[in-house]
Amino acid sequence: MATVEELKLRVRELENELIKCKQRQAAAEDAHNRPRIDKMSAEVVDSNPYSRLMALKRMGIVDDYEKIRTFSVAVVGVGGVGSVTAEMLTRCGIGKLLLFDYDKVELAIMNRLFFQPHQAGLSKVEAAEHTLRNINPDVAFETHNYNITTLDNFTHFMDRISRGGLEEGRAVDLVLSCVDNFEARMAINTACNELGQIWMESGVSENAVSGHIQLIIPGETACFACAPPLVVAANIDEKTLKREGVCAASLPTTMGVVAGILVQNVLKYLLKFGTVSYYLGYNAMQDFFPTMAMKANPQCSDRHCRRQQEDFKKKEAERPKVEAAQEEEEEIVHEDNEWGIELVSEVTDAELRAASGTVPDLPEGITVAYTIPAEETASGETVEETEVSLEDLMAQMRKL
């Protein structure tokens, strides 16, 4: 039988072992963090996570890199494109990120970057926030684990993008659509048209080998209701696309490239360098990257888009002539970024349909995601007279 002394020794041993075990655990958790950094520095030391971003100033690329901390960006959809988009913005030191998604992490998405197998079962926004906060604790995060297309959530989403900026009450600087379905895209389009919120759209084809990004300035460039959304021509059998209930293909390469060109466009837009692209496509089969731009359609079915167009026209008219001329010159940095096409009443729905999926005037390599069914033109109702609600739009989209 053990003596009191032996037992005391054993207690001390066990206590020490337990302390060590707990310390190891705490260390493992702490190790995921770095201390916050109050002020971005350009100092070239191994411990400075911002030195290579601040070097963009010395290289003559960006005038004021520190300004990145004053911006807030909403990322809607934290999947193959959205998660990498959020990670890039986090590593660039963006001020605030708002993440919206209602999906869970599954092993089935391990073929794209970002999420890891041990996160399976967690909500995407929760898992993403945890990883991103570890990567850069200087970024403010706000996550919403819901579907933005339901009525209540849509109202809340509108509120957050109009008031959830870096200082509460201010709008976000940019909304990024990284969703994988039409309903969600239309919800973002509707919200941004109503709020006059500038946003960027991104998409990857269901065959995984093409994608695009698009900048939408309400009232100025075509919104999602102005014209059928543009996609990169697949050059492959269209019948394989968009079949109900069939698992879409995806590749980490295509999604990584699309996230890369999306966030590059965000950085160029926010930090004012280079040429911001209105539309940039990616055809991975041929390594072809078409660009273009498209004006807003005066007969757009979204009344808020038409109102924004009126406001834009007024502002343009009020602008001093000299300034306007200067800006025009600045905008046309290379010819691909001039306004390419005007999709207005000259192109009827019937003509679109007759073109069997392709609007004739689009640049090589770009096509439309769908054409408008003939039934709609036959109704006799002009687009101008219709006040289409979000619900109507969604119902229409579901049919397509």
Which residues are designated catalytic? 247
Nearer to a second copy, 50 or 141 (CB): 50
CB of 129 to a second copy, least distance (A): 15
Find the binding residues for a second copy in span 27-86 (CB under 8 A): 28, 31-34, 44-53, 55-56, 58-61, 84
Find the binding residues for a second copy in span 256-315 (CB under 8 A): 256-257, 259-261, 263-265, 267-268, 273-275, 277, 280, 284-289, 291
CB of 112 to a second copy, least distance (A): 7
Nearer to a second copy, 136 or 309 (CB): 136
Binding of residue 240 to a second copy (CB under 8 A): yes
Nearer to a second copy, 158 or 369 (CB): 369
Nearer to a second copy, 8 or 314 (CB): 8
Binding of residue 363 to a second copy (CB under 8 A): no
Total interface residues for a second copy by CB under 8 A: 101
CB of 299 to a second copy, least distance (A): 30
Binding of residue 334 to a second copy (CB under 8 A): yes
Nearer to a second copy, 176 or 352 (CB): 176
What residue has token string 């689009």? 362
CB of 135 to a second copy, least distance (A): 6
List the one residue out of 188, 185, 156 whose CA is nearest residue 174.
188
By CB under 8 A, name the one of 67, 91, 156, 307 that touches a second copy: 91
Find the binding residues for a second copy in span 372-391 (CB under 8 A): none
By CB under 8 A, name the one of 159, 167, 248, 326 that touches a second copy: 248
Nearer to a second copy, 48 or 147 (CB): 48
By CB under 8 A, name the one of 126, 142, 206, 342 that touches a second copy: 206
What radius of gyration do the chain's Cα atoms show? 25
Nearer to a second copy, 66 or 311 (CB): 66
* Cβ-count burial 309-323 (b if 16+ within 10 Å, e if not): beebeeeeeeeeeee
Distance (Å, whole) CA 247 – CA 279: 27
CB of 40 to a second copy, least distance (A): 11
CB of 116 to a second copy, least distance (A): 6
Which tokens is 397 given?
Answer: 């989209």
Find the binding residues for a second copy in span 100-159 (CB under 8 A): 106-113, 116-118, 120, 131, 134-136
CB of 273 to a second copy, least distance (A): 7
CB of 83 to a second copy, least distance (A): 11
By CB under 8 A, name the one of 68, 92, 227, 305 that touches a second copy: 92
**Angle at CA 49, nearest 5°, toward 133 and 122?**
20
Nearer to a second copy, 62 or 225 (CB): 62
Residue 234: how many other CB atoms lie within 10 Å: 17
HSE-CB for 142 with a 13 A CA cutoff = 19
